[in-house]
Structure 1
Amino acid sequence: MDIMGRKSSALLLTDDVALPLDAILSAVRDAGAEAVPEDDVVVITQCESLEGKLPIMTASFDVVVTAWNKPELVGEQWLREIGRVLKPGGELILQSILSSGVLEKPSSTMELKLLMQGFLDVQSLEMKPFSSSGNVQSITIKGKKASWTTGSSFPLKKATSMVPKIKIDDESDLIDEDSLLTEEDLKKPQLPDFGDCEVGSTRKACKNCTCGRAQEEEKLQKVGLTTEQMNNPQSACGSCGLGDAFRCGGCPYRGLPPFKLGEKVSLPGNFLVADI
């Protein structure tokens, strides 16, 4: 039997020699599956001899119905093969006759097998046996193949961060920042005036000094101190900055006003004026 090129709506698998087709189609309708016309069904009897391999193209059927007298046929090989011939989104209605010694219906075990093979919406159905011969018990499970195929892909929507739009009302209580500035704030700051003398490491007053450096050098010459001694005065005895009353006879700071150690010595404006 070679039905590789044929595509129909439904496939019926049974390990029996014959099975009433009307009962199968009625069961399909009762299970809520899509109605299948009688002339659009492929029936394979004594399927046990196929050993779980169907000569059918992949994704050929919308519905597959199994009617097995041997529960051991419901295994990984057959379920994988049924999933292969089903179209994406196709349905499986699986019925198996229970052995006479079975007291409880192993529906949970059957459902777990379908779930392990990737079927969705697996549930147990209350349905009469497809075969009307004898007083037998059966179990019926319904499952659905996923609507996507292995290897399929779809673009992911990139999450965009939406910035909330703020409506600004002209009559709101917002304050204009420029109105907080005064005329004094808008004036250009005056940079400090730099001397017109040399700015090197030696820094001497120029010939026509107008910045006051020449007067400072003259004061230093009068007191006999270096620039370092005037800008950063130090004292070995600790009393040089207290004034002449506390200074010794050889103190280089004699004649200068009191000062703080480590701070520049400030000379009064009349320091160079001769005493009368």
Structure 2
Amino acid sequence: MGHDKLLVLTDQVAVSLATIWEAIKVVRKEGFEKLDPLIITQASSDCLLFEEPSSTDDIICVCKSFEFPGDKLLANIYGVLKPGGTILVYLASEPPKGQTMQSPLERKLLLSGFLDVQTSESSQSLAIVGKKPSWNIGSSFSIKKSTPVLPKVNFDDDMDLIDEDSLLTEEDLKKPQLPLGDCEVDRTRKACKNCTCGRAEEEEKVLKLGLTVDQLDNPQSACGNCGLGDAFRCSTCPYKGLPTFKLGEKVTLTGSFLAADI
């Protein structure tokens, strides 16, 4: 304990030794009489500490201002503390009316990287303690990888398994038959008397163009100018690029039409 290094920071011009010892008692329950703390007064909220990194066991901030210690000072304190070192923010007076310091100070310590942040409050003081993690910056350790274990499935030989084919009925095994005589299926028949599928309108249009029922499967356009050539065809005409022909003729392609130009 006699070799421990303790640093006390305060934003006040002067602070009584009784206040400092009360703050030290929060960090050290015993053996604090042998400590010889280094006290820095009038410290600003963003001052820099010119101490060796990871060289100080405990740092106590005795404050009267809500802004002390600042974020830069807390980052500096974090670097100066040894791994596992303690920081104490000690307010030796009641906070201003309507102002709560506990939550903002706890949040500042947590955001600065300190762990196990705890608060002890009395009628005359407020003490918030935090711990620096016990590992050094840049240290590494191995992580034990756990191999997932799949649940075991036991199959009993006596277990009765159901044959899936036995669940099918005779009706399920029958091949579906298409309805005969339907104008949508049987293309050789004319449209029904009360046709609602559009076959009657299609036949009426074909008759106007002078086509037979056998030519219903040939592509037809809305304008009826497919056989007149590209100059008369629509932009979406299926005969785009083909020579002129008579409607009703079977369109054939020459052998050189499908040959590559290169």
TM-score (norm 1): 0.46
Higher-Rg structure is 1
TM-score (norm 2): 0.48
